[in-house]
A and B are shown apart, each in its own frame.
Chain A
């Protein structure tokens, strides 16, 4: 479970203090499929960075799985992310020198340090789930956008994270591929009860999620649960 209590984020732009997030109070339960929406510059990505433990709030408290992450140092935050959080990026951010298999393997080796057999089992299962088993030896530059995002999803999920943050995951994909990716994430959410939090403009995601949080100028203006 994620809770935000009176979270503010201020960026210093020279002598001007730019308040990007204003008194954010939010709570997200396990297994939720949530979209944070809002116009450009509304603070969607900042919220994602804050609750994704990539950035620290100027003040306020963020608790994830009972841990006040605002109190953690850089190394502890990195370890916390490695154990609990997965990220899916708009431009996939795969490591170009590693193959599909190795990209997915990276967090298991460098972060979780799992034994080889366990790693192999998990990777093969995920490659099957994202339908990339036959592409496992290819390198990122040999894949299409949709294939790369599938690999990025597999990489985000391979550590069995409790939460996956996806910042505009379909922005660089065509409609069909976007729909496939959304379906894939939805299936994974259902299968593993993984929390998915999206920052997006994409209507296709908005129509697929269970909850839509609208952000305008750093303030939550609407928090709507959709009953399917």
Chain B
């Protein structure tokens, strides 16, 4: 094998320029794929963490039918005390969970005494909310980001600007409860809250106890349970663990709960899927580049060396050894291209990280990309390139091995 490698290497050097050109093409292709994967991976993980760590959590549990009518924030689809206890029992016994929090959501009218507008209100327990959503506090434009006191409201930035309310102002929230009774309460604006990509631009936050007062609730009610996992990779494992909850039926024989991962709850997941499809498309382009360039070089290599192939065949080189010689040449092109492409990709990613690239997405700006080249991505691309280089060399190698020595020796 050492000798086959040596021969193949020398044969590649024989057409140095062509070899460099082909290896460069493969190198550029590998770099393109790896840098794109690093950038899109950085963008994806950044956006996913923004969505999951500041609003959605990893998993949410609702009463069955809540998500279908989530735009109306229906009060008749809240979880009752018994159902909450059942959920708690499950969550407290799982080692996969970092923390969880309850929310009580409703639609209300927001008034600054001059004008009024609709608002989506999230009744939260501030302590649990900030533990379950570590980036929640970073969205709050207030000095004390961790505590939302009772009687205070965090106003969505959109409404704060539109209604010209600022910190310290008093506003009125008016809501209708399930029985049709209307109630209004004064709240002090403790700060505004930045929107994130996707829905939630009109989401304001008040203390969960204030929601109970506003809706005049006598019993405990919760609209959703937001769960944060210790490791997001355990998402599917957790869903399997929670499956008995989804199978639980009420007296009418209908399911009581519905459980969704963040993927189901945000349109951003479609962007993630699109990025993944683009990732595959770029890999297909890379495969085409490698396939065409290696095939081209190897075919030319065989045609240029027909007489030489005839000579080594006449001397007694078996067809399988001739096949190996040409396969190794193609393989080497792929390996050189991959190694060089991977090294240069690491250098580029390092430069990108040093320079710092910022981008805007939706209403967010100055988001910094921190691309990371994953070793498994490098390995996958490497394996693809090497396999394709081998596949592209098969046909020329077989042609070389099948050459009749007599015919080959007649060539000039």
Show the binding face of A for B, using Cβ within 8 Å.
Answer: 49, 52, 54-55, 74-75, 78-83, 85-87, 89, 93, 95-98, 106-107, 109-111, 155, 159
Decide: A93 and B409 in contact? CB cutoff 8 A: yes
CA distance A95 to B3 in the complex (A): 14
Given contacts A55-B405, A82-B318, 20 further A-B contacts (CB under 8 A): A54-B406, A74-B318, A74-B319, A75-B318, A75-B320, A78-B313, A80-B316, A81-B314, A81-B315, A81-B316, A85-B316, A86-B315, A89-B311, A93-B307, A93-B409, A95-B311, A97-B10, A97-B13, A98-B10, A109-B3
For chain B, the count of residues having a C-beta within 8 Å of the partner chain is: 25
**Chain A proximity of B136: nearest CB distance (Å):** 67
CA distance A96 to B312 in the complex (A): 12
Q: Hey, what's the 0/1 contact readout for B317-334 against A, CB within 8 Å counting as 1?
A: 111110000000000000
Cβ-closest chain B residue relative to A85: B316
| Cβ-based interface call for B308 (8 A) | yes
CA distance A52 to B405 in the complex (A): 11
Partner of B318, one of A79, A87, A95, A159: A79
Decide: B14 and A96 in contact? CB cutoff 8 A: yes
| Cβ-based interface call for B197 (8 A) | no
Provide 5 A-B residue pairs closer than 8 Å at the C-beta atoms, listed in order of the A residue.
A75-B319, A81-B314, A97-B11, A107-B316, A110-B317
Cβ-closest chain A residue relative to B317: A110
Decide: B315 and A106 in contact? CB cutoff 8 A: yes
**Chain B proximity of A166: nearest CB distance (Å):** 12
CA distance A221 to B255 in the complex (A): 102
CA distance A82 to B320 in the complex (A): 14
CA distance A85 to B405 in the complex (A): 14
Residues of chain A with a CB closer than 8 A to B7's CB = 97-98, 110
Known interface pairs A93-B308, A97-B11, A98-B10; A87-B314 also in contact (CB < 8 Å): yes
CA distance A81 to B404 in the complex (A): 14
Known interface pairs A81-B314, A85-B316, A87-B315; A97-B406 also in contact (CB < 8 Å): no
CA distance A88 to B92 in the complex (A): 86
Residues of chain A with a CB closer than 8 A to B318's CB = 74-75, 78-79, 82
Cβ-closest chain A residue relative to B404: A55
CA distance A109 to B3 in the complex (A): 7
Residues of chain A with a CB closer than 8 A to B3's CB = 109-110
Residues of chain B with a CB closer than 8 A to A75's CB = 318-320
CA distance A31 to B320 in the complex (A): 32
Cβ-closest chain A residue relative to B4: A110
Decide: A82 and B317 in contact? CB cutoff 8 A: yes
Residues of chain A with a CB closer than 8 A to B10's CB = 97-98
Q: Which 8 A-B pairs have the closest CB atoms?
A: A82-B316, A97-B10, A93-B311, A81-B316, A111-B316, A78-B318, A109-B3, A54-B405
